[in-house]
């Protein structure tokens, strides 16, 4: 089930999100070419996609897409593309897994 949902998410990100909203990557606005290997990115993009499905549905009314842009797109892309976000350390053609914070045993 997860694999199918991820496949659909990848299709949406690659066919719609990145061609329309995927600004050029750089050190101040990174993007990882293997974004699906960053669990935070998957979680945030999945939420963005679900909101897109809801707010672009005809039942959402004519202001649905504007609400999606205002309330969802900027916040998610800002977090993902932040220099300290999940893609920090990734370069245009390379993926770097982020280290998980050290946690002392309870």
pTM: 0.89
Encoding tokens for residue 2? Answer: 């997860």
Q: Is 10 within a domain?
A: no
Q: In the prediction, which pLDDT does 16 show?
A: 97
Q: In the prediction, which pLDDT does 10 show?
A: 98
Q: Is 105 within a domain?
A: no
Q: Is 62 within a domain?
A: yes
Q: How far is it, in rounded angstroms, from Cα 8 to Cα 42?
A: 12
Q: Is 96 within a domain?
A: no
Q: Is 3 within a domain?
A: no
Please list the pLDDT of the chain residue by residue as tens digits (106 residues): 999 999 999 999 999 999 999 999 888 999 999 999 999 999 999 999 999 999 999 999 999 999 999 999 999 999 999 999 999 988 878 888 887 788 999 9
Q: In the prediction, which pLDDT does 54 show?
A: 97
Q: How far is it, in rounded angstroms, from Cα 26 to Cα 54?
A: 31
The DSSP symbol for 59 reads G
The DSSP symbol for 16 reads I
Q: Is 40 within a domain?
A: yes
The range of the structural domain enclosing residue 79 comes to 35-91
Q: In the prediction, which pLDDT does 6 show?
A: 97
Q: In the prediction, which pLDDT does 95 show?
A: 85
pLDDT digits (tens, 9 = 90+) for 78-87: 999 999 999 9
Q: How many domains does one find in the chain?
A: 1
Q: Is 7 within a domain?
A: no
């Amino acid at each position: 089930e997860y694999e199918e949902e991820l496949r659909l998410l990848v299709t949406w990100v690659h066919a719609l999100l990145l061609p329309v909203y995927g600004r050029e990557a750089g050190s101040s606005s990174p993007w990882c070419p293997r974004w699906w290997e960053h669990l935070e990115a998957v979680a945030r993009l999945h939420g963005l996609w679900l909101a897109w499905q809801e707010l672009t549905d005809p039942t959402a009314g004519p202001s649905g897409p504007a609400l999606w842009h205002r309330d969802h797109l900027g916040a998610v892309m800002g977090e993902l593309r932040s220099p300290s976000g999940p893609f920090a350390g990734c370069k245009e053609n390379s993926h770097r897994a982020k280290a998980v914070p050290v946690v002392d045993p309870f």
